[in-house]
Amino acid sequence: MKIPSRCTKSLGIETPIIQAPMAGGTTTPELVAEVSNAGGLGSLGAGYMAPAALDDAIDDIRSLTERPFAVNLFVPRPPTEDAERVERSNTRLDIFRGELGIERPVPPERYAPSFEAQFEAVVMARVPVFSFTFGALDVTQVERLKDAGSGVIGTATTVAEAVALEKTGVDMIVAQGSDAGGHRGTFLHPFEQALIGTMSLVPQVADAVTVPVIASGGIMDGRGVAAAFMLGASAVQMGSAFLLCQESGANPAHQRALLDEGAVDTTVTRAFSGKPARGIRNRFITDMADLESTLPDYPIQNAWTKDVRAAASKQRQPEFMSLWAGQAARLGRQTTARQLVADIRDYLRSV
Ligand SMILES: Cc1cc2nc3c(=O)[nH]c(=O)nc-3n(C[C@H](O)[C@H](O)[C@H](O)COP(=O)(O)O)c2cc1C
Rounded to the nearest 10 degrees, how much is the dihedral formed by the CA atoms of 65, 68, 69, 72?
150
Atom of ligand 1 nearest to the CA of 46: 8
Distance CA 86, CA 174 (A): 33
d(CA 98, ligand 1 centre) in Å: 31
User: Domain segments of the chain: what residues?
Assistant: 1-76+112-247+336-351, 81-111+249-331
Ligand 1 site residues (CB inside 6 A) read 20-23, 26, 45, 47, 72, 133, 155, 176, 179-183, 216-219, 237-241, 324, 326, 328
Categorize the per-residue pLDDT at 105 as very low, low, confident or very high, splitting at 50, 70 and 90: very high
Over the chain, what is the mean pLDDT? 97
- pLDDT score at 261: 80
Question: Residue 116: exposed, middle, or buried by beta-carbon count in 10 A (0-12, 13-18, 19+)?
Answer: exposed
Model confidence at 95, pLDDT cuts 50, 70, 90, reads very high
Number of H helices, E strands in the chain: 14, 11
Confidence at residue 135, expressed as pLDDT on a 0 to 100 scale = 98
Q: Rounded to whole angstroms, what are the CA distances from 232 to 3, 60, 172, 178, 203?
A: 11, 35, 13, 18, 6
Residues with Cβ within 8 Å of residue 155, at least 6 apart in sequence: 131, 132, 133, 134, 165, 173, 174, 176, 185, 216
**What pLDDT was estimated at residue 264?**
77
Question: Quick one: average pLDDT of 32-49?
Answer: 98
Ligand 1 geometric centre to CA of 181 (Å): 5
The secondary element (H helix, E strand) that includes residue 33 is helix 29-37
Backbone angles phi, psi at 15, to 5 degrees: -120, 130
Contact between residue 146 and residue 123 where contact means Cβ atoms under 8 Å apart = no
| Angle separating helix axes 51-64 and 115-125, nearest 10 degrees | 30
Q: How far is the CA of 157 from the centre of ligand 1 (A)?
A: 13
Q: What is the DSSP string of 268-304?
A: EESTTTSS-EEEE--HHHHHHGGGGGGSPPTTHHHHH
Question: pLDDT above 90 covers what percent of the chain?
Answer: 99
Q: Whose CA is nearest to atom 6 of ligand 1?
A: 22
Ligand 1: which of 216, 248, 268, 309 to mutate, judged by most atoms within 8 Å of the beta carbon?
A: 216
Question: Domain 1-76+112-247+336-351 falls in which CATH fold?
Answer: TIM Barrel (3.20.20)
**What burial class does residue 253 get, using C-beta atoms within 10 Å of its C-beta: 0-12 exposed, 13-18 middle, 19+ buried?**
middle
- Between the CA of 83 and the centroid of ligand 1 the distance, in Å, is 30
Counting atoms of ligand 1 from 1, which one is nearest the CA of 132? 11
Contact 243, 332 (CB under 8 A): yes
Tens digit of pLDDT for each residue in 243-292? 999 999 999 999 999 998 877 799 999 999 999 999 999 999 999 999 99
Dump pLDDT digits (tens) for 150-206. 999 999 999 999 999 999 999 999 999 999 999 999 999 999 999 999 999 999 999
CA of 183 to the centre of ligand 1 (A): 7
- How far apart are the CA of 58 and the centre of ligand 1, in A? 19
Q: Give the ligand 1 atom nearest the CA of 179.
A: 26
CA dihedral 312, 313, 317, 319 (to 10 degrees): 70
Among 83-87, 133-137, 201-205, 263-267, the least confident range: 263-267
Residue whose CA is closest, atom 28 of ligand 1?
A: 182
- C-alpha span between 49 and 112 (Å, rounded): 9
CA distance linking residue 131 with residue 69, whole number of Å = 10
Q: Residue 28: name the closest of 10, 42, 8, 15 by CA.
A: 42
Residue type, 27: T
Q: How many Cα neighbours within 13 Å face the side chain of 240?
A: 33
Segment (H or E) for 137: none
Which pLDDT score, from 0 to 100, does residue 245 have? Answer: 98
Nearest to 258 by CA among 344, 321, 198, 339: 321
Cα of 180 to ligand 1 centre, how many Å?
7
Query: What is the predicted pLDDT for the residue at 339?
Result: 98
Pick from 116, 121, 239: nearest CA to 183: 239
- Average pLDDT on 135-158 reads 98
The CA distance from 51 to 62, in Å, is: 16
Mutate to test the pocket of ligand 1, among 118, 195, 324 (most ligand atoms within 8 A of CB): 324
Q: Which residues contact 29 (CB under 8 A, 6 or more apart)?
A: 44, 57, 60, 61, 64
The DSSP call for residue 79 is P
* Cα 80 to middle of ligand 1, angstroms: 25
Band (pLDDT 50/70/90 cuts) for residue 78 is very high
Rg (CA), the chain: 19
Centre of ligand 1 to C-alpha 240, Å, is 7
